[in-house]
Amino acid sequence: MKNDTNLVGLGIKVGLGIGVLVIGGLFIGNTMTTVNADEIVVKQDIIGGQLHVWDTPGVHWQNFGTITRYKRSAQLWFSAKKDEGNEEDDSIKVRFNDGGHGNISGSLRYSLPNDSNKMLELHRTYHSMAAIDHELVRQVVNKSVYMSGPLMSSRESYAEKRADLINYITDQIVYGVYRTEHDQVKTTDPITGQEKVVDIVKPKANDRSPNGVEREEESPIQKYSLGASNITINGIDYDPVVEQQIKQQQESISAVQQSIVNAKRAEQDTLTVEQQGKAAAAKAKWDQEVQKATAVTAAEQEKAVAVTQAEKNKEVAQLSLDTAKLAAQQTIAEAKADADAKRLALRANNNFQDRLNAWLESQKAWASAYGAQRQTPDVVMGGGSSTTGLNNGLIDMLSVKAARDLGITTKP
């Protein structure tokens, strides 16, 4: 019995201890709370119901008040892809001004207001993060995306106005959807080239409205001072019929553009050929000018060489002439000197050598003549005189006469 009593007492103590711990934990948990860095917390007092906004991280005194937690910033997906947001298709269907339809996928990041009064107003209206995400931000995005479709055609949203589509969506999310007006505009079909009238939907201008466009209503994003950024369009899924039409239009436009390009290319080729012809003609002309200039330069060089050679030859001839004059003068001088020497010699010995040579020649002449005769005559006429003696006497007389004529004395 005693043991059973002890066990019961121990159980009661343990139960009381656990109860104290639970009550203590509940007490502590409802008297203090921690605000994370990515949160904004709204506290409602247990007595009086007054609301407080805690936007600074750390421990705050809860005092058994009601706590509602909000994310400072969140990502909203409106995408058909399962790995972007929900596994369900959250893309937004739009209708373009040509009647075509498409499902637009994308995302944006939104942030809660930093102003406490705006945050309390937002809390009073929606009272939870899920409600803000689904009932506020998503509805604003759906409406803005849908109202941007009629501002362009399917093909324009596919090509040249894709960036404008993002700008329209962003502007309407932040400041409110446009008030639009219709306008009948004449335009040229890019495929057929035919003029047609198109019903164009465009935003209505108003200088007193944000960005100069009149709005149907103020955007809740602006009303509650939320921030919207990084708005992107990840893709547009068109209806199969629209997709086929866009493809055909693109092919037709490409063909037309290619034809224009080909025409311009042909025109450019013509201009290029013309310019090339002019360039070739100019080149040929300048080649002739170069040849002419080269020939002139060569002729001038040849002329300069000829003039130089002529001047050289002239100088050589002048030198030769001067040399010949000097040689002639030398010859004349030598001849004059020789004549003077001979004249002086003649005056000195009365030209003795010449007279002597002449006498010797005459002696040689009679000696030769004498030697040609017979020394003994074949016939001797008479008895007392001889021919030999007569001849000898005659020769002696001639010799003496010759010596006298030459002024030579044969005997000392």
Contact 105, 233 (CB under 8 A): yes
Helix (H, G, I), strand (E, B) or coil at 370: helix
Q: What pLDDT score was predicted for residue 406?
A: 57
Instruction: Please give the pLDDT value at position 27.
Output: 47
Cα–chain-centroid distance for residue 145? 44
Residue-wise burial string across 289-320, b where 16 or more C-beta atoms lie within 10 A, e elsewhere: eeeeeeeeeeeeeeeeeeeeeeeeeeeeeeee
Distance of alpha carbon 236 from alpha carbon 165, whole angstroms: 11
pLDDT at 30: 57
DSSP string, 166-183: HHHHHHHHHH-PBPEEEE
CA distances from 411 to 351, 386, 404 (A): 19, 27, 12
Q: What are phi and psi of 36, to 5 degrees?
A: -80, 165
Task: Please report, to the nearest 10 degrees, the dihedral formed by the alpha carbons of residues 12, 15, 16, 19 taken in order.
Answer: -160
Q: Rounded CA gap, 1 and 125, in Å?
A: 64
Residue 65 tokens read as 């008040």
In the numeric block, which tokens belong to residue 110?
């939104």
Q: Are 59 and 33 in contact (CB under 8 A)?
A: yes
DSSP code of residue 177? P
221: left (phi over 0), alpha (psi -120 to 50) or beta: alpha
Bridge partners (DSSP) listed for residue 70 = 40
Residue 57 backbone phi and psi in degrees, to 5: -65, 150
Instruction: Tell which residue, 112, 141, 106, has the closest CA to residue 128.
Output: 112
Kindly state the tokens that stand for 283: 């080149």
d(CA 54, CA 32): 13
> What is the residue-wise DSSP string for 252-303?
HHHHHHHHHHHHHHHHHHHHHHHHHHHHHHHHHHHHHHHHHHHHHHHHHHHH
pTM comes to: 0.54
Q: Along the 412 residues of the chain, how does pLDDT read in single tens digits?
A: 555 666 666 666 666 666 655 555 544 555 789 999 999 999 999 888 899 999 999 989 888 889 999 999 999 999 988 888 888 889 999 998 888 889 999 999 999 999 999 999 999 999 999 999 999 999 999 999 999 999 988 888 888 888 899 999 999 999 999 999 988 777 766 555 677 777 788 899 999 999 999 999 999 999 999 999 999 998 898 888 777 766 776 676 677 677 777 877 887 888 887 888 888 888 888 888 878 888 888 878 888 888 788 888 888 878 888 887 888 788 887 778 777 777 766 666 666 666 667 767 777 776 776 666 655 555 555 544 445 555 556 566 666 666 666 566 655 4
| Residues pairing with 197 in the sheet | 186
Do 108 and 228 form a contact (C-beta atoms < 8 A)? yes
CB-based contact 137:270 (threshold 8 Å): no
pLDDT for the residue 383: 47
- Give yes or no for a contact between 152 and 97, defined as CB atoms under 8 angstroms apart: yes
Fold annotation for 72-238: Tetrahydropterin Synthase; Chain A (3.30.479)
Q: State the first-to-last Cα distance of the chain, in angstroms, to the nearest integer.
A: 219
Nearest residue to 112 via CA among 76, 147, 86:
76
Q: How far apart are CA 140 and CA 221, in angstroms?
A: 8
Nearest partner of 100 among 211, 249, 206, judged by Cα: 249
Q: How far apart are the C-alpha atoms of 14 and 22, rounded to whole Å?
A: 12
User: For helices 352-371 and 387-406, what crossing angle results, to 10°?
Assistant: 170
At 155, is the secondary structure helix, strand, or coil? Answer: helix
Q: Which amino acid type is present at position 22?
A: V
